[in-house]
Amino acid sequence: MKSFAALAVSVALATEAQAEPNAAPPAPPPTHVVLADLGLHVVGVGYQVNLRKWLAAQVALDGYVPWTENFHIFGPKHAEQTDVAGLVVRQRLFFHPFSNAPAGLWISPFAQYGLVWATRDGKKVAGGAVAGGLSLGWSFVVVRHLLLGLGAGAQYNAADITGGTGSPSFGAFRPTVDILLGYAF
């Protein structure tokens, strides 16, 4: 009986030792993402890189159309419809409290700035746009390369259109929504 037990243990150890060299090591998490930045006022392309397991940085070039101002969804005091549109650079950090960047829970402060155009007194004029805010969200890496991220938060959004005060210039606190879709590698 002792011989049978010793033989069984030897076979089990030999099988385990043989299986380990053939087992593939787990793939490291992706550290770079090329993405579509689909926000409340922006649509564009960007690049994200993990700086640490808990920190990622992102920059995006976005088309900017502030629908909360252009379509005045916030009531009668916004009677005039405007046509503010432009290009902005959006920079943000993603803090991952569970150290699993780029996936999982994140907290993301952001800033954006750029050039906008709008009609003032019948003429197309230029101006500047800025925004800053904070989002809370979650990202998933699906099939190792597809990043899907969803988030929401608040932002201060402003544009200063040359040639006067009031509409189409604006500055207000507004909600923000983040949708990220990218290739992670």
Q: Show pLDDT as tens, one digit a residue, over the chain (185 residues).
A: 566 555 555 555 555 555 455 667 777 779 999 999 999 899 999 999 999 999 999 999 999 999 888 876 655 555 567 889 999 999 999 999 999 999 999 999 999 999 999 998 889 999 999 999 999 999 999 988 999 999 999 999 999 998 878 888 999 999 999 999 999 99
Give the whole-angstrom CA distance, residue 13 versus residue 105: 41
7 in a domain, yes or no? no
86: domain CATH number?
2.40.160
45 in a domain, yes or no? yes
124 in a domain, yes or no? yes
Give every CB contact of residue 184 below 8 A, 6+ residues apart in sequence: 30, 32, 33, 102, 141, 144, 145, 146, 147
1 in a domain, yes or no? no
Token pair belonging to 3: 């011989």
pTM to 2 decimal places: 0.81
| Structural domain count, the chain | 1
Report pLDDT for 156.
Answer: 97
Q: Give the domain extent around 136.
A: 29-184
